[in-house]
Amino acid sequence: MKKIIVATTNQGKVKEIREILKDIDMEVLSMKDVLKEDIDIIEDGDTFEANAKIKAEAIRDIVHLPVLADDSGIEIDAFDKAPGVQSARFLGKDTSYDIKNQYILDHIQKDMPRSARYVCSIALALPNQPTVVFTETMEGEIADQAQGEYGFGYDPIFYFPPLKKTTAQMTPEQKNLYSHRGKALRKMEAYLKELD
């Protein structure tokens, strides 16, 4: 079976990606499965696409296998699309998402727009081939309060009007169907199937 490496240390992302890609004939491995040490990649791109590409190509050049890298985050219109590409580092890399989410809830005023979106860029870096990037979004809004036990990151405060629930209240199946990451991965999956 062919292997594909997911360039992340976020086990929540790895689990989601494995679930979405379960129909392709590839073993989905995390960086921890193939690398003995942590690799610190400097993501200095100013777009999700650029950062995903930086990560995918850096790991591909070490492992010489197909690598999938995801760069994703939340854009909040009331905050001029922040935190955006800084989503994971917002208020400090080691700050818990409970604190980050509460900060957003505390600073979004009643007269501000609550519209927001998740953005996900998936870069696929194959050995000896140009890297391809697939980008998708999930439109929603900032909830009045954190709700839900599923998911990770900003999911408890990201409200998705079509289902009338936050992404942390969605089942994994619902989230994979509607999410930015699910849509981008399905595009990538279709691309991989065409290569076979």
Domains of the chain: 2-195 (3.90.950.10)
User: What are the backbone angles phi and psi of residue 27, rounded to the nearest 5°?
Assistant: -85, 120
Q: Which two tokens stand for residue 14?
A: 């790895």
Q: Which two tokens stand for residue 66?
A: 């197909």
23 belongs to the catalytic site: no
pLDDT digits (tens, 9 = 90+) for 155-194: 999 999 999 999 999 998 999 899 999 999 999 989 988 8
Q: Which of 12, 65, 63, 8 is nearest to 32 (CA)?
A: 8
Q: How far is CA 143 from CA 36, 140, 182, in A?
A: 40, 9, 21
Cα–Cα dist 158/156, whole Å: 6
Name the active-site residue from 71, 77, 106, 144.
71
pLDDT along the chain (196 residues), means of 10: 83 83 86 81 92 95 93 97 95 95 95 96 94 98 95 95 97 92 92 80
